[in-house]
């Protein structure tokens, strides 16, 4: 973890870390938009200056653009401490164990057309899995909007570090030839489509789909 850049939010005290300065800048911008303490300061400032035009005034150091009410869930996700382990979010119909060990590591990038070339083969805690799979050596592509080709992933953790809303957590996958843990998108529904994880993945095995894609 050398050459880490950091950003400390002066309002809520959150610490953001990343080795890639451009990714850190994206994380900072997203945090600034979602920070509930900044928002509370903005609301308090607006109440104390009722007659001044917002467009003509010079914003104070702590003022940031207001956050839509619909973002409240994302704010909660961004400021709350992440749970230590994945929580069951739905049904599981596939197993990570089996007899499929005769597989080699697959090179990236992920096939961006997989939704038309592969079939959903089951779910793991509610997350869709696209085949073919033959656990533990072949695991397929996981996710509907936050999608990772588990057969390519080398588990360097860049996506987990980059995600500002803690969509991922590690899932142990013993016996897989590329890596024995994978970034499980257990909080896929919290994704704000910032693209940070897709952009930082070294073997390019992440593909983000906006809702409805």
Q: Which two tokens stand for residue 147?
A: 């999608």
Cα-based torsion angle of the residue sequence 154, 160, 161, 163 in order, rounded to the nearest 10 degrees: 140
Site membership for ligand SF4, residue 16 (CB under 6 A): no
DSSP symbols for 184-206: E-TTGGG-----HHHHH-TT--E
Q: Which two tokens stand for residue 48?
A: 């104390």
Q: Which of 129, 141, 171, 197 binds ligand SF4 (CB under 6 A)?
A: 197
> For residue 141, what are the β-bridge partners?
130, 149
Binding region for ligand SF4 (CB under 6 A) out of 35-43, 70-78, 99-107, 187-195: 187-195
Give the shortest CB-39-to-ligand SF4 separation in angstroms: 19
Site membership for ligand SF4, residue 153 (CB under 6 A): yes
Contact 182, 139 (CB under 8 A): yes
Give the shortest CB-7-to-ligand SF4 separation in angstroms: 16
CA atoms of 97 and 109, how far apart (whole Å): 25
Nearest to 140 by CA among 118, 112, 108: 118
Site membership for ligand SF4, residue 165 (CB under 6 A): yes
Q: Helices 21-34 and 72-79, interaxial angle, to 10°? A: 120
- Comparison of 42 and 74: residue with beta carbon closer to ligand SF4: 74
CB under 8 Å, gap of 24 or more: what pairs does 57-61 form? none
Site membership for ligand SF4, residue 74 (CB under 6 A): no
Binding region for ligand SF4 (CB under 6 A) out of 5-13, 38-46, 89-97, 158-166: 158-166
Terminal alpha carbon distance of the chain: 35
Site membership for ligand SF4, residue 106 (CB under 6 A): no
Q: Which of 16, 129, 158, 171 binds ligand SF4 (CB under 6 A)?
A: 158
Q: Which of 159, 169, 173, 207 binds ligand SF4 (CB under 6 A)?
A: 159
Site membership for ligand SF4, residue 96 (CB under 6 A): no
Q: Are strands 127-130 and 141-142 parallel, antiparallel or unpaired?
A: antiparallel
Binding mask 109-148 for ligand SF4 (x = CB under 6 A): -------------------------------------x-x
Q: Which residues bind ligand SF4 (CB under 6 A)?
A: 146, 148, 153-159, 162-163, 165, 167, 183, 191-197, 200-203, 205-206, 208
């Amino acid at each position: 973890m050398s050459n880490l850049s950091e950003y400390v939010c002066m309002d809520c005290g959150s610490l953001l870390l990343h080795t890639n300065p451009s990714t850190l800048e994206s994380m900072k911008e997203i945090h600034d938009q979602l920070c509930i303490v900044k928002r509370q300061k903005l609301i308090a400032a607006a109440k104390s200056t009722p007659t001044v035009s917002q467009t003509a005034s010079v914003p104070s150091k702590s003022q940031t653009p207001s956050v839509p009410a619909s973002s409240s869930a994302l704010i909660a996700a961004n400021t709350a401490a992440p749970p230590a382990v994945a929580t069951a979010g739905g049904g599981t119909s596939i197993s990570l164990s089996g007899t499929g060990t005769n597989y080699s590591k697959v090179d990236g990038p992920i096939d961006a057309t997989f939704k038309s070339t592969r079939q959903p083969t089951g779910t793991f805690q509610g997350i869709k899995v696209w085949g073919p799979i033959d656990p533990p050596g072949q695991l397929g592509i996981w996710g509907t909007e936050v999608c990772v080709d588990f057969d390519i992933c080398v588990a360097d953790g860049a996506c987990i570090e980059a995600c500002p809303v803690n969509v991922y957590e590690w899932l142990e996958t013993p016996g897989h030839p590329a890596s024995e843990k994978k970034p499980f998108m257990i909080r896929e529904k919290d994704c704000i489509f910032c693209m940070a994880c897709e952009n930082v993945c070294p073997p390019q095995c992440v593909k983000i789909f906006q809702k409805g894609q």
